[in-house]
Amino acid sequence: MLLNADDFRERARGNLPRGLFEYIDRGTEDERALTSLRSSLDAITLRPSVLTGHDRRNLQSRLWGRTIAAPLVVAPTALAGLVSFDGETKLARAAAAVGIPFCVSTQSVTTIETIRRGAPDATLWFQLYVWRDRSLTADLLKRVAACGCDVLVVTADTPVAPNREYNLRNGFSIPFSATAGNLVDMALHPRWLLGVMARYLLTEGIPTYGHYPPAFRGAITRPSVAEAVRLEHRLNWDDVGALRNAWKGKLVIKGILHAEDAQIAADIGADGVVVSAHGGRNLDCLPPPAACLREISDAVGSRLTVLADSGVRRGTDVLKYLALGAQAVQLGRLPLWGLAAGGEKGAVAVLRMIIREMDTAMGFLGAERVEALRLAEGSAPLPAGGSHRSMAPEARIF
Ligand SMILES: Cc1cc2nc3c(=O)[nH]c(=O)nc-3n(C[C@H](O)[C@H](O)[C@H](O)COP(=O)(O)O)c2cc1C
């Protein structure tokens, strides 16, 4: 029975080749950030109001004037299409099934056009890694806009390639290269080999980053060929300002952990920020978002939509980020584990599970609507080693 995030994670571990599972699951270097994400959320408590007389909770939320069924977003995750055949389209459909947006990664296997065709009702956002050749990046954004995406999420927290030693050891790389080690790994996972890899090989060939222009696809590890689509690690605020002027929809900057950076984002006309530690996958000594979120939402919450992500494994983790000032919370690994465990149905099941957990916890807290959580006063997590007060009762405001 798959009842919680750990159950889905273990099923994913069983279904996926080890290299792919570790690519999704693990952190970076000594993986201290994964521990600190968990402990930062565990250290927060939520204090209930009792006898509020509520019957049902309403998790509906609004982002930029649009209603979503719960304050959740399926986060951009590169190569989700390797987890399940056509995995990004399945994630888009799963998100649509529960009424929340899905953010497509620049580095998805499936293109935004194909995802749009497969999930016509989905609310699609797009996450941008800027390529060195800005005209190619501009062409990509035209395609994104043509697919009805009106939220662009620019990832700002990956200025260099992360140091993930386990991927060097387990041979996981893109384009997928068949080493002796990962051939054995794949052979030991026939369900994935036949259900995912063989299906790609029979239809589209070796899976790789679908958005890359055809001339660069399949050759992205060859520096001489790939310079134009190398990620622009020298990105600066002027570049993002230029994107702001060029992009007509909402512009969100992902990977903010400092109120000053959030202020600059507001000054250049961004519409939102994602307070994120990139799921503990980039720099291993980042502070957890829970330690920075209140400060950032106090600084810019009136000017920007503040989102958060990293480390969510329970519905209560979502409520904690909301209580600290987030207006919605992104889920990265959880939907991927669902996808690995049971394809589209598995992704839907994971999302429903988190929504159910949120609903149950809101019932205990005496909170009828998610807005009430955001108005919580006195919440104070916990930077390193600090004590914290309990979350003030959101429902006290009634
Ligand atoms: C397998 C994987 C791939 C990811 N790829 C991207 C990406 O392409 N762009 C991006 O901005 N963030 C990427 N992220 C980070 C997520 O968007 C998100 O910030 C993070 O996963 C949240 O933490 P969680 O996994 O604990 O929920 C990726 C995360 C995972 C797990």
Mean pLDDT of 67-72: 98
| CA separation for the pair 239, 323 (Å, rounded) | 33
Query: pLDDT, tens digit, for every residue of 379-398?
Result: 444 333 333 333 333 322 22
- Give residues with Cβ within 8 angstroms of 227, minimum separation 6: 132, 133
Instruction: Name the average pLDDT for the chain.
Output: 90
Q: How high is the pLDDT of residue 176?
A: 65
Query: pLDDT, tens digit, for every residue of 275-320?
Result: 999 999 999 999 999 999 999 999 999 999 999 999 999 999 999 9
Residues with Cβ within 6 A of ligand 1? 23-24, 75-78, 105, 107, 127, 155, 254, 276, 278-279, 281, 309-312, 330-333
What does DSSP assign to residue 71? S
Phi-psi region of 382 (alpha: psi -120 to 50; beta: other; left: phi over 0): left
Q: How high is the pLDDT of residue 375?
A: 55
Strand partners, 272: 252, 305
pTM above 0.85, yes or no: yes
Q: How high is the pLDDT of residue 373?
A: 82
Q: How high is the pLDDT of residue 57?
A: 96
Superfamily of domain 5-167+225-397: Aldolase class I (3.20.20.70)
Q: How high is the pLDDT of residue 179?
A: 81
Q: Do the beta carbons of residue 273 and residue 297 sit within 8 Å?
A: no
Q: How high is the pLDDT of residue 155?
A: 97
Peptide bond just before 335 cis, omega within 30 deg: no
CB count in 10 Å sphere of residue 93: 20
Confidence class for position 172, pLDDT limits 50, 70, 90: confident
Q: How high is the pLDDT of residue 193?
A: 95
- How far away, in angstroms, is 280 Cα from ligand 1 center? 9
- The one catalytic residue among 54, 211, 233, 278: 278
Q: Percentage of the chain surpassing pLDDT 90?
A: 78
DSSP-assigned states of every residue in 299-334:
HHTTTSEEEEES---SHHHHHHHHHTT-SEEEESHH
278 is annotated as an active-site residue: yes
Q: Do the beta carbons of residue 24 and residue 336 sit within 8 Å?
A: yes
Half-sphere exposure for 313 (CA within 13 Å, toward CB): 17
Q: Do the beta carbons of residue 111 and residue 210 sit within 8 Å?
A: yes
Q: Which atom from ligand 1 is nearest to the alpha carbon of 331?
A: 27
Confidence class for position 157, pLDDT limits 50, 70, 90: very high
Locate 180 and state its tokens: 């002796």
Three-class SS state of 278: helix
What does DSSP assign to residue 120? T
Query: pLDDT, tens digit, for every residue of 202-238?
Result: 998 888 889 988 877 664 445 445 788 888 888 999 9
Q: Do the beta carbons of residue 369 and residue 23 sit within 8 Å?
A: no
Q: How high is the pLDDT of residue 374?
A: 67
- Nearest-CA residue for ligand 1 atom 27 is 332
Which of 281, 307, 312, 339 maximizes ligand 1 atoms within 8 Å of its Cβ, making it the mutation to test the pocket? 281
DSSP-assigned states of every residue in 214-243:
TTTTT-TT-HHHHGGGSB-TT--HHHHHHH
- Distance set, CA 262 to CA 295, 304, 366 (Å): 10, 9, 32
Q: How high is the pLDDT of residue 175?
A: 62
Domain residue spans of the chain: 5-167+225-397
Q: Which of 74-88, 125-139, 227-241, 282-296 has the lowest mean pLDDT?
A: 227-241
| CA separation for the pair 57, 33 (Å, rounded) | 33
Mean pLDDT of 162-174: 84
